[in-house]
Amino acid sequence: MGPSGTGKTTLLQLITRQLSPDKGQVVVAGDDISKYGISELYEMRQRMGMLFQNGALLTDMSVFENVAFPLREHTKLGERLIRNVVLMKLHAVGLRGAAYMMPAQLSGGMARRVALARAIVMDPAMLIYDEPFVGLDPISMGVIAKLIRQMNDALGITSIVVSHDVREIGEVADFSYVIADGKVAASGRPADLKNESSELVRQFMLGLADGPVAFHYDAPDYAEQLLGSGTD
């Protein structure tokens, strides 16, 4: 968790090697992935599932084909088996009935659920969610939060959720890190973070408008600017 612009998505991009670090190491599952070649990287990514902020469904394919896509690319499963696996994954996210719809026909929440089905279709060891609650209505938000928890428990996998929705993270996370200014500002169980002594963490967890993250963006003196003769 952390305020907007603090580097959460960048961190995810480092963990998945969409970005390479300028210096230092990125260790995933015990391996320094910054040293991976392209084949090792793609092998690792087959063991990862990622849910993008907007779902990132391939818009020229139906829901079914989107979920089947990784299977068709990486396995030699027969059509019958692919169909059954896809329908099972879509059933798990409650969208078996939408299998033959196109992405443009889906609501934001549905698109994210389809993307979740696609992310778990290869039975990954790790699921990564980039801001899964952004722009969703309360019902869809609740559905996604429930699915994140369910997938984590049912599949026995590691889930990393990046978000700034304190309440939803409180519901789904076992352990949280608050990131600010590119550093870990606090960590612990979500309930404990509210009692953090750090002012920045408290401001973030309680949603206060002013604090270490100032309400006013840096600007010249107010009175001086109003009374001055400049055009700034």
For another protein, the binding residue among 10, 53, 152, 198 (CB under 8 A) is 53
Instruction: Report in angstroms how near the CB of residue 47 gets to another protein at its nearest.
Output: 9
Q: Quote the CA–CA distance of 216 and 97 in Å, as a whole number.
A: 48
For another protein, the binding residue among 8, 68, 70, 162 (CB under 8 A) is 70
Q: Is 199 in the site for another protein (CB under 8 A)?
A: no
Q: Is 79 in the site for another protein (CB under 8 A)?
A: no
Site residues for another protein, window 114-133 (CB under 8 A)? 115, 118
Instruction: Report in angstroms how near the CB of residue 42 gets to another protein at its nearest.
Output: 4
CA atoms within 13 A on the CB side of 122: 23
Nearest to 164 by CA among 140, 203, 138, 133: 133
Contacts of 155 (CB under 8 A, 6+ apart): 120, 123, 127
Residue 63, CA distances (Å) to 22, 74, 80, 218 in order: 38, 18, 17, 46
Is the distance from CB of 176 to CB of 190 less than 8 angstroms?
yes
Q: Which stretch binds another protein (CB under 8 A): 65-73, 78-86, 163-171, 198-206?
A: 65-73
Residue numbers of the site for another protein (CB under 8 A)? 16, 18, 42-43, 45-46, 48, 50, 52-54, 56-59, 69-70, 73-74, 115, 118
